[in-house]
């Protein structure tokens, strides 16, 4: 089988790997249909990792994928060859303190596909076939595009972020940073009943995608963020702000826009930064982090499968697997691409 393998920064190869064995008890053999390139995949591609997480051996990339069931092992129910499924890339241990507390997204021994956080690395999903525990496969149902099914993982991230904020019903929401996660957060906020959703970014092209995914208003912000001046007036006009950029200026602007007792949800992973604590104190703001997902993966699959949300505008490009390097080159260009996917045929 073919697999998309990162060896080092800018050393991405399409390699032949041994075919997967027949599935064992409780396992399923799948043929990958579509895979989406994520920001973490791009970090491995461009930089060989991020922070202290570095490639120490060749690693198959990818954690956003859909697949078709090829064969099922003994004891597997509810899955039949030919079914389209979304693959949950996270496998918590179920035994550690955080898992026992019900915080499985914070598992101390998480096996997350396509990640170099552990060694040997957790090999990813960008391969033609793989064997997966049946519990990680979520049937999508007939008539759903494989590319849409592959969006379940990033959409689950955004559904989890929206849950962190509590009810959005009737509220004014700001989303800062309109990459794929920002745009999907716009869609999740709209689905959660937000009255008015504003999306902002320092680049114009992504804002068009945010509009298609449900933003009522888009704002191109410069260094002084004057485009958001109406929402900074008085003590602020935003109920809930989702920062999907991880940039210090965006966080500071979001806090400036929040009204008293508003909420900031930090979704984007940035570095250490100065933090406007006085405003958090004097406006009695709530600040939440949001990391990965848990039950939201199944919820994302259900929403996509039932057509409750149309995420198709997010997919800007699809490349066949034999052009995977081209796909990665394009995926890092915010002026041209949003979500770039690989078609495994």
- In order of 63, 68, 180, 274, 297, the CA distances from 338 in angstroms are 17, 25, 6, 29, 21
End-to-end CA distance of the chain: 12
Pairing of strands 238-243, 172-176: parallel
pLDDT at 307: 95
- Tokens representing 191 are 């689905």
Specify burial of residue 264 (Cβ count, 10 A radius: 0-12, 13-18, 19+).
Answer: buried
Backbone angles phi and psi of 185, in degrees to 5: -65, -35
CA atoms within 13 A on the CB side of 140: 29
Q: How far is CA 321 from CA 9, 14, 127, 324, 337, in A?
A: 19, 8, 9, 5, 17
Q: What is the mean pLDDT of each run of 10 residues along the chain (345 residues)?
A: 97 94 96 97 96 96 98 96 98 97 97 96 97 97 95 98 98 98 98 98 96 97 84 96 96 97 95 91 98 98 97 98 97 94 95
The pLDDT of residue 294: 97
Which fold would CATH assign to domain 2-151+311-343? Answer: Quinone Oxidoreductase; Chain A, domain 1 (3.90.180)
**Phi, psi of 102, deg, nearest 5:** 85, 10
**pLDDT value at residue 226:** 82
pLDDT value at residue 164: 98
DSSP-based three-state secondary structure for 306: coil
Per-residue pLDDT, 5: 98
pLDDT of residue 270: 85
Q: Which residues pair with 266 in a beta bridge?
A: 243, 289
Beta bridge partners of 133: 27
Give the separation between CA 29 and CA 19, rounded to whole angstroms.
11
CATH for 156-289 (3.40.50.720, 3.40.640.10, 3.90.1300.10, 3.60.40.10): 3.40.50.720
Residue appearing with tokens 């922070």: 51
- For residue 204 the two structure tokens come to 């114009």
**Residues 266, 154: Cα–Cα separation, whole Å:** 15
User: What is the reported pTM?
Assistant: 0.96
Q: Which of helix, strand or coil describes residue 246? A: coil
Can you tell me whether residue 250 is helix, strand or coil?
helix
List the chain domain ranges: 2-151+311-343, 156-289
- Coil, helix or strand at residue 196: strand
């Amino acid at each position: 089988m073919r697999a998309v393998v990162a060896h080092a920064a800018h050393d991405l190869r399409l390699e032949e790997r041994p075919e997967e064995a027949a599935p064992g008890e409780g396992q399923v053999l799948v043929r990958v249909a579509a895979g989406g390139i994520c920001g973490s995949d791009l970090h491995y591609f461009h930089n060989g990792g991020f922070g202290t997480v570095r490639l120490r051996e060749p690693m198959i990339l990818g954690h956003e994928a859909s697949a078709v069931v090829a064969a099922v092992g003994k004891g597997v129910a509810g899955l039949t060859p030919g079914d389209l499924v979304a693959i949950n890339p996270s496998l918590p241990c179920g035994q550690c303190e955080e898992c026992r507390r019900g915080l499985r997204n914070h598992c101390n021994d998480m096996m997350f596909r396509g990640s170099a956080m552990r060694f040997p690395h957790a090999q990813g999903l960008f391969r033609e076939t793989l064997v997966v525990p049946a519990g990680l496969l979520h049937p999508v149902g007939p008539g759903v595009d494989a590319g849409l099914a592959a969006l379940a993982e990033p959409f689950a991230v955004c559904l989890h972020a929206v849950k962190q904020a509590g009810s959005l019903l009737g509220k004014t929401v700001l989303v800062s940073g309109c990459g794929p996660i920002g745009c999907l957060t716009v869609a999740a906020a709209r689905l959660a009943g937000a009255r008015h959703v504003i999306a902002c970014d320092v680049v114009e092209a992504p804002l068009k995608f945010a509009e298609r995914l449900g933003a009522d208003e888009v704002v191109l912000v410069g260094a002084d963020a004057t485009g958001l001046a109406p929402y900074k007036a008085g003590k602020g006009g935003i109920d809930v702000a989702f920062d999907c950029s991880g940039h210090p200026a965006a966080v500071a602007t979001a806090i400036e826009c929040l009204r008293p007792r508003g909420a900031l949800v930090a979704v984007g992973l940035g570095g250490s930064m100065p933090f406007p604590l006085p405003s958090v104190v004097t406006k009695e703001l709530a600040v939440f982090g949001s990391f990965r997902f848990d039950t939201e993966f199944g919820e994302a699959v259900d929403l996509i499968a039932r057509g409750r949300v149309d995420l198709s505008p997010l997919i800007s490009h699809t490349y066949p697997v034999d052009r995977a390097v081209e796909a990665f080159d394009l995926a890092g260009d915010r002026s041209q691409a949003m979500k770039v996917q690989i078609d495994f045929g």
